Structure 1
Amino acid sequence: MKKILSLISLVIVSFLLASCAPKNTISNPDLYGVWQVKEIKDVEEKQKEVDAALRVDDYIYISDDDYIIGNDVIKDAKTKYRKVSLKDYLFFNYKIELNDTGGLDADVYSIYEDDSFRYDLIISEDKMMIKLGKYLYTLTKTDKALDEVHMKELVALVDSTEAGASEAIDENIGFLLGLREDKDGASTYKTIYMQPYKGEAYELDYLLVPRRDGFARIECAKIEKDGIYQEDFLVINDHVNTFESLVLYDAQNEKELDRMRKILFVGNDYFSYEIESKLRDNGDIGIYFLDNYSQNNKAALRELIDEGETDNTKTYSMDEFKNSLNDARNLTVVRNNGYWILKQRDYDTKYPGLYKDSYVMKKPNKNLVRFDELYFNYETLKEKFPKLKDAFSAPNKSMVMIYKDKTLAAYSVYRDEIMDEIFSIDLNSKIIMNEWALGQYGDMWKEKFISLGVKKIK
């Protein structure tokens, strides 16, 4: 019996089903019992399931007293319940896209231990889904029974594996932010780089973008064209140009601007901005290439979503594009529930200047957003941090950044639990870029900042 149990990873859950409503508990006998893994989907990268916590045909046990999820033992757990749209919940909380989920509802049971969120159990049409790491597991319920002796053996097994566990701390880990500040009708930009465990933070008064082959710098420039002054951006890659002796414009010839551009997002190979014009094109948005940047070269949706995704976007010639008001190239990237999500703008053909924004239910590809995984339930973070504005998880799961009120704070994470605050800075800006530096890159990025004459803010 023990030999068989040691070959499978188990999830055992105990529910004191407490809701947000005045009722103290929610009873769902259909939840309790033995569930079997039927499908494993890698929802982050298309890789083999070599490091999956569970395998196909493994069992998950759920009782009303004890839980084990992976190698976690959860006793006297509390649960919050809500009814949701399955498609919307998976996308906006986990950025997971599944086919054939449109119109389906789901029961979500969020499991808490000592008031800390641990896992979501999502049940729809007699199937259960649970996300562990980068995998989404789909299970069906079996007719197997779970007796008290069996439960005690499982709890002892997991307790023994937990006893020797340890986690290393990457003290060099770095977090980079691109910020936009809007004041008096104008926007300014800066980049902050911090190493929380070292208690250090540095600031540049422009956007410095990490690339695969170095860094790029984005500066605002006011330019004259046919007697009209406009605002545009200069993108300088440091493997092609130096960052020195950059003349943006002649201040003596500066006049009132016809167009103002506001950066909405920067990431890897792209950046996005919105045009605000006194004469025309008000509200125009687009995502542009950092390499060979041209304001007439917007990226199309088919270039920005994961490979293999079905996309019926029409490919326009440049002439067709210029004459089109409702085009799949009118896109940007925004923050929602701790994720970067594509947003599309559709213009009203009858009333110029009016438009409607909607989310694109497609996952951005790695060229647009390299790492974008939040290892905590965003709604639960809002309960823990009532003034939460945004949150970011480190790729190695060792740290979470919490943007609350006017403060950005770093918290250490141990075994998927948020521990102590280790660092904080004052912040009251719009976050338009974020990147993580792990291992040797933590100090390498700091050296790059220092070489550019940064201001140390902490």
Structure 2
Amino acid sequence: MKKIIILILMVFLSACSFINPEGSNIETPETVKPPIYGKWVVTKYIYSDNLSNDNFMCKEIIGMDVLFANKESFIAGEYIQGPIYKTKKINLENYLYNKYNLNHEILSVENKDAYAISIKQSDLGAYEIIKVTEDKAFIFRNGFIFQISKSDDEIKDNELSLAIASKKDENIDASIETLGSKAESGLLLGLKIPDTSKLPTYNYKTIYIKFSDAGVENLYESSNILLPRLDGFSEVEIQRLFKGNETTDNLIIKKRLDSIDESQTKEKPIQIEDRNVLKNIIYISDDIINIENYDTNMGIKKLRIYEIDKLESKKALEVKDFIDPDKTQGENLLDIENRLEDSRNIGIFRQNGFWKLMGRNYNEEKNTYNDFDLNLVLPTSINKYNSLPIPMNEIKKFHSRIKDAFISPDNKFLITLENDMLKIYNIEKGDIIENPLFEREIGDNADIIMSQWAMGRYSRLWQKEISRKN
């Protein structure tokens, strides 16, 4: 009798549900229906991490069929043979923030419990489906998000197979897989390398990587920060001043002029300094700069974010300035302000391949500070192209020494920081190719303080500007 009970239990467990409450991945056995099944249709375009993508192309995807079966599937223009389904239960808010750096409100769903389903063919990259109800889900692929709705609840297995067979033979020009491809792009990186001096000192440089469809076209390096702004490029530097026993850093931002063009007017530089305060650039974009101010008298390091055009007023932004009042993120403001002793003591740091807004609290007794994630999605101006279609944990599995990474908007190239090297790898069908196609030494313990992508003709304009000599 005991053996019979054990045998029954084994049979029962082998046919158990695909859901794992702890969130570990479970592959679907062939005898069980996949975790998402049947006939669905694309009903809405939700989001693209590339703001330059043509929305007209996205509209072509609306209304396309999405068919899920056990041994094959058809996802808005792409046929997948022998799909491998893996599923985990997730908290929607935490999952979207940690994996995609997105606010869950972008999906406009109330329920925070959902299922993340990856669908992968053995030699292709994975789609991810976030299933929020039995008849509503979202497709995540190549930086795009589309909503899908179940269109047939009663479809039979043989009917589903016939529907997929008819679709895979159609001549379809548009698909989610082919959206947003750009042949030319350029990545502008601002780097900070610590010096070995007694006082905190940093060397700054700019690297511009020009990509074409064939690969890395060229790489340019400048010994200071070159910052693209609406009216052209600016140069950013920190000048250290010594006067008696005082050591002060002067932050200077000045428009970059072309020495050949005599018609250009020399503008007054934007600058800021505080006596006996050293400055460390944490983050910079075309409109804001994040500085760590180190008061050498007090031994205190405070973070401040300034608008560049208002830098000389020394008026720092507060955490509320990074919260969209139209979003319910604002409901978290009181909780954040309770945790943050100084609402201006905030910084924008790289964390797991994304720019994150951090808070800093200072312990006066121990003369130490603590930085912590404020769990807020930063504005679009900072988040543009801030995407990792391959999650950072997968990138680190590829090489454990990778500490930071970027993926090109067309998902063809992986750019990494590894020890003292910058390396670039090809990505083919969602997989990173082992041997780097380009590598360059950048200095020990380099950190990224700026990252901006230029697309299409802008990539060539930036190339021309950065390659010229003053």
Bucket of the pairwise TM-score, normalised by the shorter protein? 0.7 to 0.9
Partner residue in 1 for 2:188: 176
Match of 1:107 among 115, 136, 139: 115
How far apart in 2 are the matches of 1:141 and 1:343? 43
Q: Which piece of structure 1 moves more, 388-397 or 267-276?
A: 388-397
Q: Which piece of structure 1 moves more, 404-413 or 237-246?
A: 237-246
Partner residue in 1 for 2:221: 203
Residue type of the alignment partner of 2:193? E
Question: Aligned-pair distance for 1:265?
Answer: 1.1
Q: Does 1:277 align with 2:286?
A: no
Residue type of the alignment partner of 1:344? G
Partner residue in 2 for 1:357: 371
Count of aligned pairs between the two proteins: 421
1:45-100 Cα distance to aligned partner (Å, 9 max, x none)? 699975246437x6532211112222222222224443433211111211221248
SS at match of 2:394: helix
How far apart in 2 are the matches of 1:230 and 1:440? 41
Q: Conserved in 1, the CA contact under 8 Å of 2:250 and 2:271? A: no
Q: TM-score, normalised by structure 1?
A: 0.74
Q: Does 1:131 align with 2:140?
A: yes
Q: Conserved in 1, the CA contact under 8 Å of 2:252 and 2:271? A: no
Partner residue in 1 for 2:78: 72
Higher helix share goes to which structure? Answer: 2
Match of 1:188 among 203, 224, 229: 203
Question: Aligned-pair distance for 1:426?
Answer: 3.0
Partner residue in 1 for 2:388: 374
Question: Aligned-pair distance for 1:338?
Answer: 2.6
How far apart in 2 are the matches of 1:168 and 1:123? 24
SS at match of 1:291: helix
How far apart in 2 are the matches of 1:170 and 1:110? 26
Partner residue in 1 for 2:232: 214
Q: TM-score, normalised by structure 2?
A: 0.73
Question: Aligned-pair distance for 1:192?
Answer: 0.9
* Runs (5+) with no aligned partner, structure 2: 1-17, 258-263
Q: Conserved in 1, the CA contact under 8 Å of 2:42 and 2:146? A: no
1:200-237 Cα distance to aligned partner (Å, 9 max, x none)? 22211111111122112111112368963222311113
How far apart in 1 are the matches of 2:345 and 2:165? 54
Question: Aligned-pair distance for 1:400?
Answer: 3.8
Q: Which piece of structure 1 moves more, 360-369 or 213-222?
A: 360-369
Partner residue in 2 for 1:33: 38
Percent identity between the two aligned chains: 21
Partner residue in 1 for 2:341: 326
Partner residue in 2 for 1:13: none
Q: Conserved in 2, the CA contact under 8 Å of 1:216 and 1:237? A: yes
Q: Conserved in 2, the CA contact under 8 Å of 1:37 and 1:139? A: yes
Match of 2:153 among 143, 168, 171: 143
Question: Aligned-pair distance for 1:245?
Answer: 12
Question: Aligned-pair distance for 1:329?
Answer: 2.3
Question: Aligned-pair distance for 1:308?
Answer: 3.0
Question: Aligned-pair distance for 1:115?
Answer: 5.5
Q: Conserved in 2, the CA contact under 8 Å of 1:174 and 1:438? A: yes
Q: Does 1:55 align with 2:62?
A: yes
* Runs (5+) with no aligned partner, structure 1: 1-16, 250-256, 316-323, 454-458
1:293-331 Cα distance to aligned partner (Å, 9 max, x none)? 23722123343345733436989xxxxxxxx98233222
How far apart in 1 are the matches of 2:311 and 2:52? 30
